[in-house]
Amino acid sequence: MRLIGILFCLTFTLLLATHVVSGQATPVPGTADEVCSPIAGGTPDPSSTPDADVNLAELDFDLIFLEAMIPHIQNSIDMAIVVHERSGRAEITAFTEQELHNMQAQVDAMRQWRAEWYPDAPALSQVQLVQTMNMKLADSPGVGGVAGLEEMDASHRDADLAAVCSSSGDIELNYIDSVIAHNGSSIILARAAADRSTHREIRELVDGLIAMQQYEIDQLLAWREDWFDGTPIPDHHG
């Protein structure tokens, strides 16, 4: 069943790429230096001004899913760009190459959906986004509010990318640990979307995403055991 999900995700990624071929894809940094230079220079990421008067309880679940998942996957893209260029392990180079192909199609499609479905939606601060996820997911069986979604927080994303950018000989270990934590949070939110989303496109996306990202976790854990046996796994939920 997992193989079916992975093949479905790959097929849907091709459909996503076709969907955004109209020129609406968002340009992304192409090199490790382009990704890491804002971090080294202390340049903050640009952000829109949040709407203080928005009624969080009335926001659509799919909007919150997109608001959380788009920067989350973009952060994974940024890390993959760095590691693809700097890793000396052929397995990781091949892994990140496939990651970049899949994730760029996903994030481009989600950005397009965000613009098409919610053109007038208010800008949300990080605090508002977390509060809204808490409200939307608090009654989801097995989710428990935002527990497990810590990697969606901007501070965690920034720390993970900084760790990868500043890595030398341990870049693969930092990348593996970051992606395992990232994927865990993505799977939690994707499972909620599978039950709650009102858009067929999102339900189709998350069906494949869950299987693919669990497969990636399993593969990365196997490499971690082979290459870094005995190294403790860090607590990303602190």
Q: What's the pLDDT tens digit per position in 10-65? A: 554 555 544 444 444 445 558 999 999 887 655 545 555 556 678 888 899 999 99
What is the residue whose two structure tokens read 């934590």?
A: 181
What is the DSSP code (8-state) at residue 140? S
pLDDT on residue 127: 82
pLDDT on residue 137: 79
The CATH superfamily of 2-20+56-227 is Ferritin, core subunit, four-helix bundle (1.20.1260.10)
pLDDT on residue 130: 80
Return the domain boundaries, the chain.
Answer: 2-20+56-227
Q: Is the dihedral of CA 160, 115, 184, 126 positive or negative?
A: positive
pLDDT on residue 68: 92
Tokens in use for 1? 């069943």
- Are 76 and 103 in contact by the 8 Å Cβ rule? The answer is yes
| pLDDT range class, residue 128, cuts 50, 70, 90 | confident
What pTM value is reported for the model? 0.83
pLDDT higher than threshold 70 for residue 214:
yes
pLDDT tens for 97-124 read: 999 999 999 999 999 999 999 999 988 8
pLDDT higher than threshold 60 for residue 79:
yes
- DSSP reduced 3-state for 232: coil
- Are 87 and 175 in contact by the 8 Å Cβ rule? The answer is yes
Alpha-carbon gap, residue 219 to 216, rounded angstroms? 5
CB atoms within 10 A of CB 132: 22
HSE, CB side, 13 Å, CA atoms: give it for residue 99.
27
